[in-house]
Amino acid sequence: MPSYLGAIGTALPAHRLPQPIIADFMARALELDANGTRKLRALYRVSGIEHRYSVLPDYGRTLGDYEFFPNTPSLEPFPSVSPRMAAYRREALPLAVAAAQDSLRQAPGIEADSLTHLITVSCTGMYAPGLDIELVQALGLRPSVRRTCVNFMGCYAAVNALRLADSMVRADPAARVLVVSVELCTLHFQKSRADDHLVSNALFSDGAAAVLVLGQPLPGPAPCLAMRAFHCGLEPEGTRDMAWHIGDTGFEMTLSGYVPALIERGIAQLVAGLLHELPVQLADIRQFALHPGGRKILEAIEQALGLSKHDNRFAYQVLRDYGNMSSATVLFVLRELLAAATPADAGAPVLSCAFGPGLTLEAMLLEVVG
């Protein structure tokens, strides 16, 4: 019997920022000249992003009004890891709680104290006792709830968490698993003109998502997703092209221009591995929930798999409205897909993929359940 994914809750920080406003902040922070500022604004315009969210108000403010960064032209002394982690600890829990409560509100009859497992996902902060224990207390979960933390895997981590939840439910159909992903990527702005940092500063944002994984569909008319299969692939040549390291001034993202080409080269083999021995072919799939790591990544997948922009519409919608929220992003895409599902979609296969350091490619096959 499959496990069922439904009741996807989300939460966003208070600060909704237009992409051009963030570009202006970055140009000032990097002390770019007129030509550099023009190029940076062009990068932000072609990103496919209109708005992003941040727990920090500074990206929408001007020098003199900053709360987190120093009010100096060079932002010096630039914040070290310690104040960034203090901000993570302060801001991550409220977002995670809000997403989890949003998920539970969509599941009548599923009380918080009936949950058997909790999986937390994050790559943008860490502390102990951690977010998992604080969620137990904030949500009123049983102290005996079985906790697992998926940390520092990057954008594909939510797929790992769903695979783990699927295994738990298949082993015990009475299990009720809450998966909570929270990412505060904007805490890790790097004051660097390196291309990798310019691109990551233009893409990443903050958000949280939570999902219930159960041994049976939720009651009621709302559709859910049956999780059918998972598959993981690696492109070792991309080890240095997508990476995530802890530096002196926060977590440093490497995201080179070769990543879309690496994904384009590896995605067909990944999907073939996923569908091997399943009674589903790529041509049978009309529903897609792909992680929008960036516009060029989505275009590379379309080229490799023969997809249209309409096929990829949910990913583009999330990228446009929220940016790349690391591991939480694919859950936002799945939420949009479910919101658009109709009774006619019942039984339709869904292909979902996410990508991250390694270069890791994760895929899962789901099915719409009416």
CA 271 to the chain's CA centroid: 20
Q: Is 155 a catalytic residue?
A: yes
Its sign, for the CA torsion 331, 335, 337, 342, is positive
Alpha-carbon distances, residue 15 vs 25, 27, 188, 205 (angstroms): 14, 19, 16, 11
Token readout for 251 is 């977590």
The count of other CB atoms within 10 Å of the CB of residue 80 is 12
The CA distance from 134 to 116, in Å, is 16
Given 123, 149, 155, 353, the catalytic residue: 155
C-alpha span between 338 and 368 (Å, rounded): 8
Q: What are phi and psi of 109, to 5 degrees?
A: 90, -10
- Residue pair 356/157 in contact by the 8 Å Cβ criterion: yes
Q: What residues are annotated to the active site?
A: 155
